[in-house]
Structure 1
Amino acid sequence: MAAQLEQVGFDGAYTFEGQNDPFIGLAAAAMRTQRMDLMTSIAVAFARNPMSLAYQANDLQLLSNGRFILGLGTQVKAHIERRFNMPWSKPAARMRDMVGAIKAIWHSWETGEKLCYDGEFYQHTLMSPTFSPSANPHGIPKIYIAGVGPLMTQVAAEVSEGLFVHPFHTPHSLASVTMPAVAAGLEVAGKQRDQFDISAQAITATGLNEEQLQAATFSARSQIAFYASTPAYLPVLQAHGWEAMQPEANKLSREGKWAEMAELVDDDILHTFALVGEPDSVAAQLLERFEGKVERVSPVIYAPDGAVLTSLLEAIRGRQG
């Protein structure tokens, strides 16, 4: 699939940590592509440790000839503790420490200097030559962090090279929650906006016929309802005064009533969150929402027919001139 996406003109592709490991698929994609960026969006950071992530990212940077981006996200407490059986505490502070540790490990490999990282959550003080890779000829990979609330978003701007804007966002939450937090993080780090990438994922419902569009629209409603059920994403609903939706969606999710959850998403909520319509209409909406504000955009799309993706890309390129 990565080779097909590159052939029709996409600039990047990512794997999602859902039913598969996010790194193995990218290794295969790296060997089938030559141009586009390859990234995890996301790998669950707290299911792993900084050393294992440093090795995996370094290997993929080599395999892709410098096209890899390490995208990290926290997941939520229940999954970290009960699915991965790993510790959870102060996620923003832990993410800051994890990125610092990964970069310290890479610095040791690049320079040969002694590894001596002593953070709040992670300590790495041993790196013998047997286990230290040579300096990567393509340099160290970029790190992107996924953020929803202002605290994690600020951490991303402080310590990483990019932010994954979660699909569960709106133009209003992007302007009122995300961008001020980015600005605050950049100020703390002494960085300029052009030194930081913003990659926005957007829930997208499109199709080449009415049947495809209806299926995609139901998928979009289901995605919105699922995200709305998660307490960690409450700030986005609060930005619109829709916070009362969260406990009801959460209750239905715990009862496994997924279809009923989708019914909570009325047309107003749907069109506030998602880009909906035929490919040319979606392209216009996408450019209106993101052009001049972010560096890259990724449509989160239900598209069983690859022609839908191609048509959407052609519509975007056509409108960009």
Structure 2
Amino acid sequence: MEIHTTLIQDDLGKVSGEIRRIEAAGYNGVMTQENRHDPFLPLAVAAVNSERVTLGTGVAIAFPRSPMVLANTCWDLQQASAGRFVLGIGPQVKGHNERRFSVPWTPPAPRMKEYIHALRAIWACWKNGGTELDFEGKHYQFSLMTPNFTPEPMAYAPPPVTMAAVGPAMLRVAGEVADGVRLHAFCTRKYIENVILPQLETGLARGERHREDLQISGGGFLVTGANDEEVATSLEFYRSRVAFYGSTRAYWPVLEQHDLLDLGEKLNHLAREGKWQEMPALISDDILQLFGAIGRHDEIVAEIQTQFGGLADVIADSASYDMPGSLPADLIRDIQSLTTPWAGFKR
């Protein structure tokens, strides 16, 4: 199993020191998010100040960017990192696309599938040197690539493409065409087994692929600390996150698996009234246990196996760049000793 953490994004001047610390600790990789800051700039700094860890976006928003623009950014990051970059993309929701990014909205699943195909067509053109670019889709068309705009040759394979997926259609697309799927943290083992995996398997069958070809990341929280006090402090942060996500109707299918729809309705009512501070009290410790692996450092490996074993190939110990990963090296190695179905990215 791989263990990743988040990379600082609010101060590029601190990235070089932070990526060296993370790499020395033994983490497999880092990820950035597209919230307050650009997700790619910190990875560029990290690429030239590290040697081993994978560098990924978890996730960058796809549709506001032309596949050509994104392909160019990823090519440069893959070159700078000596082949360690992993692209993670997601669609975001309709309101953000239309009102925050001012881009038109169309059904996201078929568009994401085409987007990934377009990226790979562009990279194939550059990688094969002189191959004509001729991609014709419903949303994207690319038919012009001259030497002046073709990047220099690269010794590494184009980066793997992973994608965020929540709903059934996006999960099927991930299984069919992506190198990996990034699951939402608001998941339980039962939900993954009963809902997510069947959709991924349908997609894998369509793509004539197998489970070992698809990296599954996330699908729950990791709540740990050196002692009970640290665990309790961390637990309160995740209690508020579960309450926040549980108030959103789009995530209620997770609650439905546990006969907790009434909880979702109560949380939604409080959210609409702006009573955010009252919401975490509705999340009991038993409910929290459904959504993550919880325990001290000396307990957490067994909890990770119980919560994620056989399901996730990658987990993360941080939900935000302002919560830097701080797991001790020996614990990181113990987590990495857990076996997973994924066989690695094909190069």
Is 2:37 aligned against 1:16?
no
Q: 1:209: how far off?
A: 3.6
State the Cα deviation string for residues 210-262 of structure 1 (Å, max 9, x = none). Answer: 44222211111111122223333233222223233334434444554332232
Distance (Å, rounded) in 1 between the aligned partners of 2:33 and 2:324: 20
Distance 1:85 1:230, change over 3 A: farther
- The SS at the match of 2:131 is coil
Deviation at 1:37, TM superposition (A): 0.9
1:240 partner letter = H
What is aligned with 2:191?
173
Given candidates 101, 104, 126, the residue that maps to 2:121 is: 104
8 Å CA contact 2:228–2:296 kept in 1: the answer is no
**Cα offset for 1:183?**
0.9
Give per-residue Cα distances to partners, 1:126-171, cap 9 Å, x unaligned: 2222111134211110000111222211101111111112211111
Q: Does 1:64 align with 2:64?
A: no
Whether the 8 Å contact between 1:220 and 1:274 is mirrored in structure 2 is: no
Residues 1:313 and 2:332 are matched in the alignment: yes
Q: 1:27 aligns with which of 39, 44, 54?
A: 44
Kindly indicate whether the alpha-carbon contact (under 8 Å) linking 2:29 and 2:55 is maintained by their aligned counterparts in 1: yes
Whichever residue aligns with residue 61 of structure 1, its letter is Q
Paired residue for 2:156, among 138, 158, 163? 138
Does residue 187 of the first structure (1) align with residue 205 of the second (2)? yes
- In 1, the alpha carbon distance for the partners of 2:318 and 2:132 equals 42
Identity of aligned residues (%): 38
> CA separation in 2, counterparts of 1:27 and 1:181?
34
Q: Specify the alignment match of 2:143 in structure 1.
A: 125
Deviation of the 1:103 alpha carbon = 1.1
Which SS does the other structure have where 1:14 is aligned?
strand
What amino acid sits opposite 1:153 in the alignment? L
2:56 partner SS: strand
- Equivalent-residue separation in structure 1 for 2:183 and 2:302 (angstroms): 20
Give the letter aligned to residue 191 of structure 2.
S
1:150 and 2:168 correspond: yes
User: Does structure 1 retain, via aligned residues, the 8 Å contact 2:317–2:325?
Assistant: no
What letter corresponds to residue 16 of structure 1 in structure 2? Answer: Q
1:233 aligned partner, one-letter code? Y
Map residues 252-263 of structure 1 onto 2, 5 A cutoff. 252-263=270-281
**Contact kept? 2:293, 2:307, Cα under 8 Å:** no
Report the residue type matching 2:303 in the other structure. Q
Query: Is the aligned partner of 1:294 residue 2:312?
Result: yes
Give the alignment's Cα RMSD to 1 decimal. 2.3
Given that residues 19 and 50 in structure 2 are in contact (C-alpha distance below 8 angstroms), is that contact kept between their aligned partners in structure 1?
yes
1:309/1:50 CA distance change after superposition, 3 Å? farther
Distance 1:280 1:159 in 2: 39
Q: How much has 1:310 moved relative to structure 2?
A: 4.7
Out of 248, 253, 256, the position equivalent to 1:238 is 256
More helix by share: 1
User: 1:285 corresponds to which letter in structure 2?
Assistant: E
Query: How far, CA to CA, are the matches of 2:63 and 2:206 in structure 1?
Result: 24
Higher relative contact order (CA 8 A, sep 6+): 2
Letter of the aligned partner of 1:183 in structure 2?
E
| Partner amino acid, structure 2, of 1:168 | F
Q: Which amino acid aligns with 1:132?
A: T
Aligned residue among 236, 248, 261 for 1:218 = 236
Q: In structure 2, do the counterparts of structure 1 residues 231 and 56 end up closer, same or farther at CA, with 3 Å as the change threshold?
A: farther
Q: How far apart in 2 are the matches of 1:257 and 1:23? A: 35
2:260 counterpart letter in structure 1: W
Structure 2 residue 287 is the aligned partner of structure 1 residue 269: yes
Identify if the C-alpha distance between structure 1 residues 245 and 142 changes in structure 2 by more than 3 Å, giving closer, same or farther: same
Are 1:40 and 2:57 an aligned pair? yes
Which residue pairs with 1:4 in the alignment?
A: 21
Note the residue ranges of structure 2 that are not aligned, 5 or more in a row.
Answer: 1-17, 340-347
Is 1:163 aligned to 2:181, yes or no?
A: yes
In the alignment, the residues of structure 1 paired with residue 324 and residue 73 of structure 2 have an alpha-carbon distance, to the nearest angstrom, of 32
CA contact (8 A) 1:36 1:67 kept: yes
Aligned-partner Cα distance in 2 for 1:92–1:317:
33
Match of 1:73 in 2: 90
Q: Distance in 1 between matches of 2:273 and 2:20?
A: 40
* TM-score after normalising by structure 2: 0.84
What one-letter code is carried by the residue in structure 1 that aligns with 2:313?
E
Deviates more, 1:250-259 or 1:41-50: 250-259
CA distance in 1, matches of 2:84, 2:297: 28
